[in-house]
Structure 1
Amino acid sequence: MNSYAKILRKEDHDEVFVVSNGEKGSVSAHKPVISSAEILADNKDIYYSGDDHDHDLKHPSIPGWFAEDSPIWPGQAHFLKVEKILFQGSSKYQSMMVFQSSAYGRVFVLDGALQLTEKDECSYQEMITHLPLCSIPNPKKILLLGGGDGGILREISRHSSVEQIDICEIDSMLIDVYKEFFPDIAVGYEDPRVSLHITDGIAFLESSSGGNYDAIIVDAFDPLRPDHDLFKTSFFEMVVKALRPGGVLCIQAESIWFDSQLDIEQIATKCRQIFKGSVEYAWTIVPTYPSGVIGFLLCSSEGPSVNFKSPINPIDHHLNESFGVAKAPLKFYNSEIHSASFCLPSFAKKKVIEDEYS
Structure 2
Amino acid sequence: MNGLKEGWFSETSSLWPGTCLSLQVDSVLHSEKSDFQDITVLQSKAYGRVLILDGIIQCTESDEFSYQEMISFLPLCSHPSPKKVLIVGGGDGGVAREVAKHPDVEEVTQVEIDAKVLEVSKKYLPFMGQGLSHPKLKLVVGDGFVFMSEHKKEFDVIITDSSDPVGPAVSLFQQTYFELMREALKPNGIVCSQAGTVWFNLREVIDVMSHCKNVFKTHAYAYTCVPSYPSGQIGFVLGSLDADINFKEPRRIFNDTEMNDMKLRYYSSDIHKAAFTLPRFAQKALYDNVTNNKDKNENIRL
TM-score normalised over the length of structure 1: 0.78
TM-score normalised over the length of structure 2: 0.91
Asked if 2 retains the 8 angstrom alpha-carbon contact of 1:317 and 1:330, the reply is no
Query: Which of 301, 307, 324 is equivalent to 2:246?
Result: 307
Secondary structure of 1:350's aligned partner: helix
For 1:58, the equivalent position in structure 2 comes to none
Return the alpha-carbon distance in structure 2 between the equivalents of residues 132 and 110 of structure 1: 26
Q: Displacement of 1:194 after TM fit? A: 0.7
Query: Which of 49, 52, 64 is equivalent to 1:121?
Result: 64
Query: Which of 140, 155, 167 is equivalent to 1:213?
Result: 155
For 1:18, the equivalent position in structure 2 comes to none
Return the alpha-carbon distance in structure 2 between the equivalents of residues 200 and 315 of structure 1: 34
Moved more, 217-226 or 94-103: 217-226
Asked if 1 retains the 8 angstrom alpha-carbon contact of 2:41 and 2:49, the reply is yes
AA in 2 matched with 1:234: T
Asked if 1 retains the 8 angstrom alpha-carbon contact of 2:206 and 2:290, the reply is no
Q: 1:74-223, aligned counterparts within 5 Å?
A: 74-208=17-151, 210-223=152-165
Is 2:192 the partner of 1:250?
Answer: yes
Gaps of 5+ in 1: 10-63, 324-328
Return the alpha-carbon distance in structure 1 between the equivalents of residues 245 and 27 of structure 2: 46
Return the alpha-carbon distance in structure 1 between the equivalents of residues 177 and 100 of structure 2: 26
Return the alpha-carbon distance in structure 1 between the equivalents of residues 144 and 44 of structure 2: 32
Q: How much identity, in percent, do the aligned residues show? A: 42
Q: 1:274-285, aligned counterparts within 5 Å?
A: 274-276=215-217, 278-285=218-225
Q: 1:54-93, aligned counterparts within 5 Å?
A: 64-93=7-36
Asked if 2 retains the 8 angstrom alpha-carbon contact of 1:224 and 1:261, the reply is no
Asked if 1 retains the 8 angstrom alpha-carbon contact of 2:88 and 2:160, the reply is yes
Asked if 2 retains the 8 angstrom alpha-carbon contact of 1:316 and 1:333, the reply is no
Larger-gyration structure (1/2)? 1
Secondary structure of 1:319's aligned partner: helix
Return the alpha-carbon distance in structure 2 between the equivalents of residues 321 and 82 of structure 1: 33
For 1:240, the equivalent position in structure 2 comes to 182
AA in 2 matched with 1:148: G
For 1:348, the equivalent position in structure 2 comes to 282
Q: Displacement of 1:322 after TM fit? A: 4.5
Q: Displacement of 1:315 after TM fit? A: 3.5
Return the alpha-carbon distance in structure 1 between the equivalents of residues 15 and 43 of structure 2: 26
Q: Displacement of 1:302 after TM fit? A: 4.1
Secondary structure of 1:229's aligned partner: helix
Return the alpha-carbon distance in structure 1 between the equivalents of residues 65 and 230 of structure 2: 17
Q: How many residues align?
A: 292
For 2:213, the equivalent position in structure 1 comes to 272
